[in-house]
Amino acid sequence: MNDRIIFEDVSKFYGEILGVNRVNLSIPPGVTSLVGPNGSGKTTLMNLMTGLVRPSRGRIQVLGYTTDDPENLFRVVGYSTQFDAFPKGLTGFQFIYSYLCLSGMPLADAERTARQAIERVNMVEAASRKVAGYSKGMRQRIRLAQALAHNPKVIVLDEPLNGLDPLARAEMIALFRASAAHGSYVIISSHILHEVDAISDQVILLSNGYVVAEGQIQSVRKEIQEHPTQILIRCDRPRELAAKLFEAESTIEASIHKDGQGLLLKTRDADRFYLAMNQLALNGIHIESIAPADDDVLSVYEYLIGNEEVIR
Amino acid sequence: MAVYRRSYKPYSGTLTAEWSRFLVLFRYSRRNLFHSKFLTVFYVLCFFWPIACLAWIYVAHSASFLAKLGLRPEFVAIDNKFFLLFMSVQGVLAFLLTAFAGPSLISPDLANGAMPLYFCRPFTRAEYVLGKSSVLGILLSEITWIPGVILFLIQASFAGASWTWDNFWIAGSLILSSLILIAVLSLLAMALSAWVKWRIVAGALLLAVMSFGAGFAQAINTVLRIEGGHFFDLVYLMATIWTNLFLVDNDRGISAGQAWVAILVYCSVCLGLLLRKVRAYEVVR
């Protein structure tokens, strides 16, 4: 499996404190978000992936490389930490350039590559200014440039959207999507759930050091049996529709939308419900739209972890 | 499942030799040090004594000049004591230079949380320590054994082959005594820099370790009526090793072997403290 990031029964303990426990993952290309409350093990998982901490147990492979092989591993991995990690006195360009030199790039290549990375994150004008004078958004972007500079296939970004204004967020998200579209593995940690929803191909939900769910968010939602699926139906005669839907056994609850133009339905069997809806639509009720109301990260997160520290 | 275009192109150029990457740290750290005017001036001042010693060597070999000054040749003899005196003065300057330059080596990286940035690439903790210590190592070499050996070579050129052959060991003593001084000062300064985030406090602590050590050692020796207190005095330990290396008679409280062991223990402790702090991630318990 040289095209995946693989965790095999990985545990990490800091003395008696649990970092992560019994993690088994196989991460494909695309944008993967690590979601969980503070202290759930997101950063530990990222540090394990990048070889910054060693697992107490288990095995990690990143595209076929073990984390004990830094010379090869860090050719394919780029990491941006969540803290303001800038050595003192460097300009944006020097920051990128010096770390490329440290990675083993010859000076001329490092200079050219650093300029390309700075261009990718739209920081050309500020590149010759000291990082200490950057705004929060600029710091995030230059950190991202540092992680992207050597064109790594795996980009690990710890809380990359923290402190960014909406415009900068949109730019960053576009950058993640573009990287993923080029076949990169973009691993992001975040607890800003609506953004996670918008950018992720798959999510890994963590709680207290355990992986509680992983995969595409809709698939994860389907697996959660104890919470009935919520579906929002926009239609012209919601009361009539509600009465008909209650005839189906799987319908648990239906409530009329505030504006009187829709219905929020809870069902145990979404597939049977969709079949039934086809019939109802054919029977003359004008249905404008049908959309799942709780197959987003926020809902899944609340069902599995609870609503602690959720930022909506 | 999304379909991705595989247009990823990694860097495929050559890489620099692994052993040479620590020099990147050296380059940046050294340049940062010399941003300070005070340090630059002090660094220049450190060459005054070697120049004075050079003048001394010249005078020692100039019979007419000696006659003019009314000095006897044996008064200005260039021997092991001369080179020990040279090293003693340069040693003090090296210590002061370390107190100024050392604390700023690691503490800013720790304060800014920059360690993960260094280690999330093919760069090890040992290389980091080597890179940072090379700044002090080379800086202190420039004011200790390098001018020392130059002075020795100049003296050798004046004194002839016979003197050089008889005193060749002095060059070895110059180098070895400098290296042990550099190792102790570098490790101590970096360990303090790693554990004390404030540069000024770290510098003050370095001064304290050197100066209060002597007082503490003296107190122990006086109260307990032993010589073992000297093990707490780094300057005394260093002086014991140096007098032994330069074959200068000096009745010391402890033997050179004991001093060597004590210095090695200090170096090991400093290295242990340093490696405990120089980690990709600090674990908060």
Find which of A102, A150, A151, A217 to mutate to test the B interface (most B CBs within 10 Å of its CB). A102
Q: What is the pLDDT of residue B28?
A: 85
Domain A5-222 and domain A228-293 have a common topology? no
pLDDT at B7 over 60: no
Whole-number Cα distances in Å, B173 to B48, B89, B136, B179, B246:
22, 16, 20, 10, 6
Chain B residues touching residue A98 (CB < 8 angstroms): 24, 28
Please state, in angstroms and rounded to a whole number, the distance separating the CA atoms of residues A148 and A118.
Answer: 9
Nearest to B136 by CA among B43, B38, B20, B243: B43
- Report the residue from A30, A85, A99 with minimal CB separation from B2: A30
Backbone phi and psi for residue A266, each to the nearest 5 degrees, phi listed first = -115, 125
The verdict on a CB contact (< 8 Å) between B7 and A81 is no
Minimal C-alpha gap between B136 and chain A (Å): 18
Q: Is A70 on the interface with B (CB under 8 A)?
A: yes
pLDDT of residue B216: 83
Q: Which of A52, A87, A153 sits opposite B114 (nearest CB)?
A: A87
Q: Are A131 and B48 in contact (CB under 8 A)?
A: no
Q: Which fold has domain A228-293?
A: Alpha-Beta Plaits (3.30.70)
More confident residue, A279 or B183: B183
Q: How far is CA A100 from the centre of its chain?
A: 27
How far CA A187 is from CA of A153, A154, A179, A202, B113, in Å, comes to: 11, 8, 11, 10, 21
Is A70 in a helix, a strand, or coil?
helix
Burial pattern B214-235, b for ≥16 Cβ within 10 A else e, equals beebeebbeeeeeeebbbbbbb
pLDDT, one tens digit per residue, over A45-61 is 999 998 888 899 999 99
pLDDT of residue A310: 46
Which residue ranges make up each domain of chain A?
5-222, 228-293
pLDDT by residue (tens digit) across B94-140? 999 999 888 888 888 888 778 888 888 888 888 999 999 999 999 99
Task: Spell out, as residue ranges, where chain A has pLDDT lower than 70.
Answer: 1, 83-87, 220-227, 248-249, 279-284, 295, 304-312
Comparing CB atoms, the residue among A52, A89, A105 nearest residue B281 is A52
Question: What is the maximal distance between C-alpha atoms in chain A?
Answer: 73
Distance of alpha carbon B193 from alpha carbon A33, whole angstroms: 37
Q: Where are the domains of chain B?
A: 20-277
SS3 call for A312? coil
Contact A186, A176 (CB under 8 A): yes
> Closest Cα of chain B to A282: distance in Å?
32
pTM: 0.78
- The architecture (CATH level 2) of A5-222 comes to 3-Layer(aba) Sandwich (3.40)
